[in-house]
Amino acid sequence: MIFAVMAALLVTMVLALVRAFLGPDLYNRILAINMFGTKTVLFVAVAGFLFGRPDFLDIGILYALVNFVAVVAVLRLTHHDEPATGRNGDGHS
Amino acid sequence: MIVLEIASGVLLAAGALFVISGGVGLLRFPDFYTRTHAAGLTDSAGAGLILLGLLLQGAGWETAVRLLIIMLFLALTSPTSTHILAHAARRDGVPVWREGDPRR
């Protein structure tokens, strides 16, 4: 059953990558990469169980942290003026 | 003991189903906002079910604590990240898709 879950996760990762390449503009890509990151967390957890190495889960926890910070950082990068100064979004792009 | 195995298998299968449905939804939906639904669906439901299924695999309590931490963290961060993403897109003026609009 764990093999089935790993296969499903791999398929979803490929679909997310396809959406990341196809995605018309920035936000579709960020969404796809965010979903890809979450699936990587699950993949590491399931792989840890499959190979009998429960300490993989620490990597999963860390990756969930990094993934969240990455999404916030990218949004701050492309939206740098709005939250800091609180002005209404007249930014670029 | 066998009940745990069956329950774990059922949960893992349901989680895998949610994950695949989210992935397909990410490709088929016409617009960014509709795709956030698909991505959010897999993050919350799929991840929760898969991790719950792994929890029932009967590993030691250390593994169970780690799985609970991952579940808690994913439950906290994935809605938040989807929200700030949609908020930023809305602020940036990404148009909302209406019935009959072309795929975006």
Question: Is there a contact between A42 and B46 if contact means CB atoms under 8 Å apart?
Answer: yes
Q: Is residue A87 part of a domain?
A: no
Mean pLDDT of chain B: 87
Lowest average pLDDT, out of A29-38, B18-27, B35-44, goes to: B35-44
Q: How open is the CA angle A53-A55-A61, to the nearest 5 degrees?
A: 130
pLDDT confidence of A93, banded at 50, 70, 90?
A: very low
Q: What is the pLDDT of residues A55-87, one digit of tens each?
A: 888 999 999 999 999 999 988 888 765 554 445
Q: Is residue A60 part of a domain?
A: yes
Question: Is there a contact between B81 and A72 if contact means CB atoms under 8 Å apart?
Answer: yes
Q: What is the pLDDT of residue B11?
A: 92
Contact B85, A71 (CB under 8 A): yes
Q: What is the pLDDT of residue B42?
A: 80
In the predicted model, what is the mean pLDDT of residues A39-53? 89
Q: Is residue A92 part of a domain?
A: no
pLDDT at A39 over 60: yes
Single out the residue of B15, B20, B47 nearest to residue A44, CA to CA: B47
Q: Which residue in chain B is spatially nearest to A13 when comparing CA positions?
A: B23
**Where are the domains positioned within chain B?**
2-91
A4 contacts in B (CB within 8 Å)? 12-13, 16
Range of the domain at A74: 2-78
| More confident position, B1 or A35 | A35
Question: Model pTM?
Answer: 0.85
A20 contacts in B (CB within 8 Å)? none
Contact A32, A69 (CB under 8 A): no
ipTM entry: 0.87
Mutation pick from B27, B67, B69, B92 vs chain A, by most beta carbons of A within 10 Å, is B92
Q: Which of A5, A15, A65 is facing B50, going by the closest CB pair?
A: A5
Q: Is residue A30 part of a domain?
A: yes
